[in-house]
């Protein structure tokens, strides 16, 4: 039972899900012109999309069928673990003319991941 | 990373991966660089100088709109109602300081006029400006008591002055003549308070940025109705407290944060407004 539990845990760990990723603008040298924020939680999606796809993996009909085909023909790849819901963030920055701009940028933060 | 948005380390790692020829690598990297710049609406990497000033108002707006910020942050007190409405529809808010080399200041008895020019050419063509506010800071006039009921009832004099904002739409035929101008906004303000005043200049800025009108700038007129009756020192003090020009501003250190500011609210057609984002998250 313990072995089954551990295996299940490992399998769950490896399946597609959202992971923490903090983007620090100073790491890419953008802190010189981005005034605020200094960085943000962007997150990323990673993990397997195993057969059979579980409900919580937000899959599409196509992904379910692709996974089914993969189970009988490994030449066809599994569905991919990708962002399914993204949200914007506001950035306060100086442009190339030193004008100060507050702008809303779409699709900057991963809110949910799924197999697609 | 000094010249582009891709850090030098990333560039080097990709070039050294050996997947492509050096020429191909350079071409792919340049293409990606262009996509990054396009994403931010930039033509090249910004390299702001140390003298670059970030207006406090823009920081306040960022705090108000930021999804990651403190949700209890309310709109800045001095934000005009028209600006508040505009911000709810905008996804880009830009701030501009005027070109000081092109300012024209005139001070006659009881009246100060200042002509401003704001260079708005950095606003992209695809951005639709829905609103604009001209913000002017004025200091409390020392010694000006808050008006009592009797002074409130007595016309404009005694603790009040009037600020008129005009759009300049033509230059005078002669150098001595006044510019052709139309009134955009006006307000009677109280001397005993220090605060930013916000004026609606949306009609002019919308016309300029949409190409329907030529940007000749604004004219700010400050009327001090009772100045003629004052002694010289008091009159001079009163004319200096509306911060429309560096030459009227005694404290040079605070001028960058007290100088007039033009704020535009626009939408480039990509996604939600800044305010909607915050409401959605809440």
Model confidence at B238: pLDDT above 80: no
pLDDT over 90 (residue A101):
yes
CA distances from A80 to A69, A83, A108, B175 (A): 14, 10, 19, 71
- Split at pLDDT 50, 70, 90, the class of B153 is very low
Q: What confidence score (pLDDT) does residue B278 get?
A: 53
Closest partner CB to B91 (pick from A32, A99, A104) = A104
Residue A33 sits at the chain B interface (C-beta within 8 Å): yes
Residues of chain B found within 8 Å of residue A103, distances taken between Cβ atoms? 41, 91-93, 274
Hey, are the CB atoms on A103 and B61 less than 8 Å from each other? Answer: no
Any residues with CB less than 8 A from the CB of B251 and at least 6 apart, and which? none
Is pLDDT of B31 > 80? yes
Q: How confident is the model at residue B173 (pLDDT cuts 50, 70, 90)?
A: low
Is pLDDT at A108 greater than 90 in this prediction?
yes
Number of other CB atoms surrounding residue B208 within 10 Å: 22
Cis, peptide link before residue B60, omega less than 30° from 0: no
Look at residue B127 and tell me whether its pLDDT is greater than 80. Answer: yes
pLDDT at position B280, please? 56
Please give the interface size between A and B, counted as residue pairs whose CB atoms are below 8 Å apart: 111
Q: Which position has the higher pLDDT, A88 or B4?
A: A88
- Counting residues of chain B whose pLDDT is more than 70, the rounded percentage is 71
Query: Cα–Cα distance between A12 and A17 in angstroms, integer?
Result: 9
Positive or negative CA dihedral for A47, A52, A56, A59? positive
Asked if residue B237 has pLDDT above 70, the reply is no
Instruction: Look at A106 and B44 and tell me if their CB atoms are within 8 Å.
Output: no
The whole-number average pLDDT for the span A72-90 is 94
Residue A95 scores a pLDDT above 50: yes
Chain A positions in Cβ-Cβ contact with residue B42 (cut-off 8 Å):
95-96
- Provide the shortest C-alpha distance from residue A58 to chain B (in Å): 21
Specify the higher pLDDT residue, B225 or A46: A46
């Amino acid at each position: 039972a313990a072995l089954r539990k551990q295996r299940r845990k490992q399998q769950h760990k490896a399946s597609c899900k959202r992971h923490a990723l903090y983007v620090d603008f100073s790491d890419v040298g953008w802190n010189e012109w981005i005034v605020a924020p200094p960085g943000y939680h962007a997150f990323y999606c990673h993990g397997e999309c195993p057969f059979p796809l579980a409900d919580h993996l937000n899959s599409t009909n196509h992904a379910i069928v692709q996974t089914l085909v993969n189970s009988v023909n490994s030449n066809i790849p599994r569905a991919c673990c990708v962002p399914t819901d993204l949200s914007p963030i506001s950035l306060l920055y100086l442009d190339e003319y030193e004008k100060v701009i507050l702008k809303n940028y779409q699709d900057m933060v991963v809110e949910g991941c799924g197999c697609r | 990373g000094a010249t582009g948005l891709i850090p030098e380390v990333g560039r080097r790692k990709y070039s050294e991966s050996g997947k492509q020829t050096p020429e191909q690598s350079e071409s792919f990297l340049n293409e990606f660089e262009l996509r990054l710049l396009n994403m931010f609406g930039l033509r090249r990497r910004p390299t702001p100088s140390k003298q670059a000033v970030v207006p406090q108002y823009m920081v306040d707006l960022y705090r108000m709109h930021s999804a990651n910020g403190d949700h209890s942050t309310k709109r800045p007190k001095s934000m005009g109602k028209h600006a508040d409405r505009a911000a709810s529809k905008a996804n880009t808010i830009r701030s501009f300081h005027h070109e000081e080399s092109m300012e024209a200041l005139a001070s006659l008895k009881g009246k100060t006029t200042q002509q401003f020019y704001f260079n708005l050419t950095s606003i992209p063509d695809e951005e639709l400006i829905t609103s604009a506010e001209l913000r002017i800071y004025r200091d409390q006039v020392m010694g000006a008591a808050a008006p009592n009921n009797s002074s409130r009832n007595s016309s404009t004099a005694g603790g009040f002055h009037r600020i008129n904002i005009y759009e300049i739409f033509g230059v005078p035929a002669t150098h001595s003549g006044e510019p052709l101008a139309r009134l955009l906004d006006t307000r009677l303000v109280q001397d005993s308070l220090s605060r930013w005043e916000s004026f609606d200049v949306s009609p002019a800025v919308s016309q300029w940025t949409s190409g329907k009108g030529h940007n000749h700038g604004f004219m700010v007129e400050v009327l001090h109705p009772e100045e003629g009756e004052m002694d010289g020192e008091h009159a001079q003090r009163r004319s200096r407290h509306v911060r429309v020009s560096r030459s009227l501003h005694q404290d040079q250190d605070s001028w960058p944060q007290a100088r007039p500011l033009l704020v535009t609210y626009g939408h480039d057609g990509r996604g939600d407004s800044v305010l909607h984002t915050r409401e959605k998250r809440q």
